[in-house]
Structure 1
Amino acid sequence: MKLYGMTDSGNCYKPRLLFAKLGIPFEHVETSSRDGTTRKPDFLAMNPNGKVPLLELDDGRFIWESNAILLYLAEGTRFLPDDPYERALVHQWLFFEQYSHEPYVAVRRALSRYPERAAQATPERMAAALEGGNRALGVMERQLSQTPFLTGEGLTVADIALYAYTHDAQIGGFDLPRFPAVSAWLARVAQDSGHVPMDSAG
């Protein structure tokens, strides 16, 4: 399989991390959304939404959206439960990641990290992102104070999805030591077999 993505993107890190934990070989194609590559006709023919990550299957079909790629790769593995309720909990946290976590934690990280976005980092926007991100981290803290992983005893794609932008949230100015259960969870995810850092392309 072929994975189009940016090495320094948390959303693109998610499927790379799962590939590594599953021990599945893949080809990484560095593809930037910041230089216009994803808006070119050849890329839009693969993903009309013009974003990465994008997974190309062996048969030439495509899957886009990071969490959809995670769910596809995790099918039939330890990272996605068979039980309907437990599977629903995984989906619950994936939706949480996209709607309550990523818009604040990932966005504040991007505004802090990329010079081309500095003009968008107004005090008001940064404050709102900090507030929203801390609220999301607080929700995770409450759950991870009760269970070792987000859906219970085992690591799932829910953990991988939320690990991606949480593990370097300090880049965006988040004080992770304020969330000891989240910090301990980050260590557990990193200690799981097959783990690779974010700067590993594949």
Structure 2
Amino acid sequence: MITLYGSLDSGNCYKPRLLAAKLGLPFRHVEISSRDGSTRTDAFLARNPNGKVPLLELEDGRLLWESNAILLYMAEGTRFLPSDRYGRGVVHQWLFFEQYSHEPYVAVRRALVRYPERAAMATPERLAETLAGGNRALGVMETQLAKAPFIAGRSITVADIALFAYTQDAEYAGFDLGSYPAVTAWLDRVRADPGHVQLEWTPPEL
């Protein structure tokens, strides 16, 4: 059985758990967090020298880190990754968008308002910057989702899983999703897809 190391309150760690649930893929969850220093131990750094979660450990002991890389690995040969070359390219495009244009603003703003230890970093300037950047990203998504039911086209893919993780928590971070009706409708479509689970879900112990 594969093992996913991650933190239950992290959107990035939610991504592979959500995909595994939708795929009906059994896995073992090991709770580990950067907030308590457990990702900086020698034991964990031996698995991931970047000291971050999520981390996927395969049954044969091979390791894979970075949330979107894990999504692509898990989605291979499933309905969540197109079989044609262009379709995969479009999915990759949105995965890069998530990491470079969405996560640095929506996820970072969520962290600034969620975690007390980050209060010193939540300056008015930083909050304004993340709000503006997040709204730009949500605007790009709104334009796309006004044309297609899912972010990469007609069918749900790992691009939707990646972008759902933090967008579904965007209002908590101070974004007005009422201004993005196509995004809001898309969130409901992702939730309605079979096997959906909430952020802090873990599989039953086997």
- Asked if TM exceeds 0.5, the reply is yes
Structure 2 matches for 1:42-53, cutoff 5 A? 42-53=43-54
Letter in 1 for 2:43: D
Q: Which residue of 1 aligns with 2:98?
A: 97
In the alignment, structure 1 segments of 5+ residues that lack a partner are none
In 1, Cα distance between the equivalents of 2:4 and 2:43? 15
- TM-score by length of structure 1 reads 0.99
Task: Give the TM-score normalised by the residue count of structure 2.
Answer: 0.97
Measure the CA separation in 2 of the matches of 1:177 and 1:46: 42
Q: Which residue of 1 aligns with 2:139?
A: 138
Question: 1:28 maps to what in 2?
Answer: 29
Identical pairs, percent = 72
The ranges of structure 1 where at least 4 consecutive aligned residues each deviate by more than 2 angstroms after the TM superposition are none
Give the corresponding residue for 1:199.
200
Alignment of structure 1 residues 176-187 onto 2, 5 Å: 176-187=177-188
Question: Secondary structure of 1:2's match?
Answer: strand
Equivalent residue runs for 1:12-161 within 5 Å: 12-161=13-162
Letter in 1 for 2:184: S
Cα distance, 1:201 vs structure 2: 2.0
Structure 2, unmatched stretches of 5+, are none
Total equivalences in the alignment: 202
SS of 2:182's equivalent in the other structure is helix
Q: Alpha carbon RMSD of aligned pairs, Å? A: 0.4
In 1, Cα distance between the equivalents of 2:190 and 2:57? 27
SS at match of 1:63: strand
**Alpha-carbon displacement from aligned partner over 1:59-103 (angstroms, at most 9, x marks no partner):** 000000000000000000000001100100000000000000000
- Secondary structure (helix, strand or coil) at the match of 2:171 reads helix
Q: CA deviation at 1:199?
A: 1.4
